[in-house]
Structure 1
Amino acid sequence: MASGNVTTVGDVFAKRYGEVLLVRVGESGPEACVYNTFPLNDCPAELWDKLDANSIAEENNAVAALLNGPRYWLMSGIGKRDRDELEHKTFGGLEMLKQATVKLSSMNPAPYQPNRVDRKASFTFDAGREIYELIDPDDRHWVMQTWSQTVDPTLSLADLPNLATRLSLPPGWRYQARTPASALHVDTTTTDASVTQDDLANSYSLLPLSISR
């Protein structure tokens, strides 16, 4: 359904996708255009596994191409502003949409460092479904938006509740699983999102203070 110029896609929980990031260096530092297979296809392994990052970078005049996936959504619904205007691109037979632009903290961002993402999107996490969070030294909560098989190809949804034992958390950081009593909405349709990753490449969005408890 649509609300204004925001189109919402529901039932995305645990859906598989992959991303190609084309990195260029701008006046304010490294920046990546993020192309995503969602919702066009489920990133079939026979195509994804054949992608060559060096060739993709050369063909697209980028300083680097990053292959980010496969990944799996953890929210129940995604709203996207101006979805009809998204750029299409094909990499190795995989059709993708340009879904975001990321201001990278460096050419090789370290885990647990925030990056600014212009994604014009809103995420909804249903009440009663377990979520997974990082809590930083300032008591800010970061909700896991996707789990990744980039580092560990066997990582599954069943592993997430006890993931703290596998993470190399920086001093003052914590990981927890909890089940919210009401739905969580992370709305970054009109503002940049703050996104970070753990050392297994799972991605997290910063929760507004009003909904982080």
Structure 2
Amino acid sequence: MPDDVYGKRYGEVLLVRSTPSGPEATVYNTFPLNDCPAELWRALDPQAIAVEHGADAVLLNGPRYWLMSSIAKRGRETLERMSFGGIEMLRQATVRLASMNPAPYRPNRVDRKAVFTFDAGRQVYELVDPDGRRWVMQTWSQTVDPSLTAADLPHLGARLSLPAGWTYRARTPAEPLVVDTADEDAFVTQDDLANSYSLSTGG
């Protein structure tokens, strides 16, 4: 795994199935096998993938770009490998979705067994919810706005339809910010541009 994953491009295929406890998605990710080749990615057919794999639905999540500096993942050597439309991917996580059509600003539980580290001195982007909890942006997305760039992120709050009591901010931590969900589920939400955020308990 590269030491610095910041800015690396990837894409995900989520195979969604109904379970007694609600919809659950198995997440396959192109990283670090490839950078989600644009031509192959555009050609993916969610309905065909769902039929092929016996899923109730398929969500295409990407292209996306990492914002953390490093990812440590337990059990990486045993990850299942799968090909979708010629794009090689690794099974990276299981997500318990809030609904079959996840809405912005609603948390989902993710079993990913990973530690994300955001280096000190590198700007991070956060949502702060009405309870004062901080959600740090882990990836930014071109799913909704293909023209979005990293340069847009510091002032993105002006473009978001934030719920009452939510705020968006950019800051530069003086110490590394660590999101450790190696031994517990992560809580992840998205904004209305499909950028993803992890609940943060770090500094």
TM-score, length-scaled by structure 2: 0.99
| Matching of residues 62-77 of structure 1 within 5 Å | 62-77=55-70
Residue 11 (structure 1) shift: 1.1
Percent identity between matched residues is: 71
Indicate if the aligned counterparts of 1:9 and 1:79 stay in contact, CA closer than 8 A: no
Q: Deviations for 1:77-111, whole angstroms, at most 9, x for unmatched residues?
A: 00010001111000000000000000000001110
2:75 to 53, 61, 82: 82
Amino acid at match of 1:91: F
Distance 1:135 1:178 in 2: 12
Amino acid at match of 1:206: L
Distance 1:108 1:187 in 2: 27
Distance 1:109 1:49 in 2: 22
Q: Which residue of 1 aligns with 2:120?
A: 127
* 3-state DSSP of counterpart to 2:144: coil
* 3-state DSSP of counterpart to 1:10: coil
Q: Which residue of 2 aligns with 1:184?
A: 177
Distance 2:3 2:182 in 1: 17
2:191 to 195, 198, 207: 198
Distance 1:172 1:57 in 2: 38
Residue 10 (structure 1) shift: 1.6
Distance 2:32 2:3 in 1: 11
Distance 1:113 1:193 in 2: 13
Q: Which residue of 2 aligns with 1:10?
A: 3
| Matching of residues 108-127 of structure 1 within 5 Å | 108-127=101-120
The number of equivalent residue pairs is 203
Distance 1:35 1:174 in 2: 31
Distance 2:83 2:179 in 1: 29
2:143 matches 1:150: yes
Distance 1:23 1:51 in 2: 16
* 3-state DSSP of counterpart to 2:170: strand
Residue 46 (structure 1) shift: 1.3
RMSD: 0.7
Distance 1:104 1:10 in 2: 30
Indicate if the aligned counterparts of 1:29 and 1:104 stay in contact, CA closer than 8 A: yes
Unpaired stretches in structure 1, ≥5 consecutive residues:
1-7
Indicate if the aligned counterparts of 1:21 and 1:33 stay in contact, CA closer than 8 A: yes
| Matching of residues 55-66 of structure 1 within 5 Å | 55-66=48-59
* 3-state DSSP of counterpart to 1:168: coil
Q: Which residue of 2 aligns with 1:48?
A: 41
Residue 9 (structure 1) shift: 4.0
Amino acid at match of 2:136: V
Distance 1:115 1:53 in 2: 21
